[in-house]
Amino acid sequence: MTSSEQTGILKVAYIGAGRVNFGGAAGGPWDHSKRLEQLGGVEFVAIVDPLVEKVRDVLEKKMAGAYAHLYTNCKVLTDYRELLSMGDNKPDAALVGVPPFCHASYKNDIELQLVKAGVHVFVEKPISVQPPEEIQPYVKEVSRTAKEQGVIMSVGYMFRYHDAINKMKEIITEHGRPLMNIDMAYNCAYVSSTRAYIWNIHESGGPIIEQATHFCDLLRYFGGEVDYSQLTSLVVPASDDPTNPGYLSSLSPLLKEGDIPQSSRSPRLTHAQWKFKTGTVGSLTHSYSIHGEKYITNIEIWADGLRMKLENLYYPECRLKIRRGYTDEEQEFVFPTADPYHGEVEVFLKAVRDKDSNIIRSSYEDAFKTYQLTWAIRRTGTGT
């Protein structure tokens, strides 16, 4: 019996001391550490990041906060391999929140080393930035090893744990009719998007692989597997010409987009459509278009006798409108307290404790299928 099994306290390590694990000055709803602290039943044994000062800074803040006792034995490490020689303090579980080009390959084999050592893994989306066919052998080996070792793997597609998405799933099941159309739009407020690598598709993967991946994942969550022979996509490419639709008037000068080769610049708009194997039509629009801070998102699902429209999924004012059956009236649902980030880590910890991978809604293998869809959209739209 391990010490965690004796005490019931899970030992958790963070890989990456950045925004998704610890929140960020620029805000955003993400911060896995906050949710884990509130959930309890855990202690933090290490934070791994080559930027030692950044980790020290994170730890200093944690030691001054209400959950300092959870960090008493927390080590500052610079390499994930060090986690595996921590003896009794080896983590039971690790949360991997590093840029996608820093993991998911035989060179940067964070997932593989963890699962080989019997450590449960929660890894952020996107699972990589390399072409899917290049990482497929790695993904297969990680998935097979995780099964052999009996460890849980979960990927951070948090919207699968959102109350509004649960409600839509429930209504589809109740309604009992196949879906005709699933249409999603993800419009990013781009002015404050100042991380340079996001704007270079050869570093971030591009807007579909990096951002709209959340909606590609939901499209699959509702629609199932994609018939790739029917997929097409169109883009509005970047342009420096103010008379062109691809010109963005308010890009931060800090990004120095002019230094990025034209063929590597992020498209301003991507529109893709396809059929699922069931015959349902799927479509996705992503744009860098609006100013201000808030993104504008929209999800519509249609079936015989049913229309669902979900707006503002990222925000507490998220609203679901439903028209179904023999009426022109709409029902409206709101979800002011929904916290999908809480849901995804809560379910991950429960799966680890109960050794039950069936409750994980985004497995590593399934997330790879979403990853394949995002690449297919990028390739048909941009040719690269």
Q: For the CB of residue 350, give the shortest distance to ligand NAD in the complex, in Å.
A: 19
Closest CA to 121 of 92, 145, 100, 147: 92
Instruction: Indicate the residue among 198 and 310 with the shorter CB distance to ligand NAD.
Output: 198
Which residue ranges make up the site for ligand NAD (CB under 6 A)?
15-20, 30, 48-51, 54, 80, 97-100, 102, 124-125, 156, 158
Q: Least distance (Å) from ligand NAD to the CB of residue 210?
A: 6
- In angstroms, what is the minimal distance from the CB of 153 to ligand NAD? 15
Q: Which is nearer to ligand NAD, 20 or 322 (CB)?
A: 20
CB of 26 to ligand NAD, least distance (A): 10
Instruction: Kindly tell me which of 11 and 214 has the beta carbon lying closer to ligand NAD.
Output: 214
C-beta of 255 vs 322, nearer to ligand NAD: 255
- In whole angstroms, the minimum distance from the beta carbon of 120 to ligand NAD comes to 17
Q: Which is nearer to ligand NAD, 49 or 92 (CB)?
A: 49
User: Least CB distance from residue 98 to ligand NAD, whole Å?
Assistant: 4
Nearer Cβ to ligand NAD (48/322) = 48
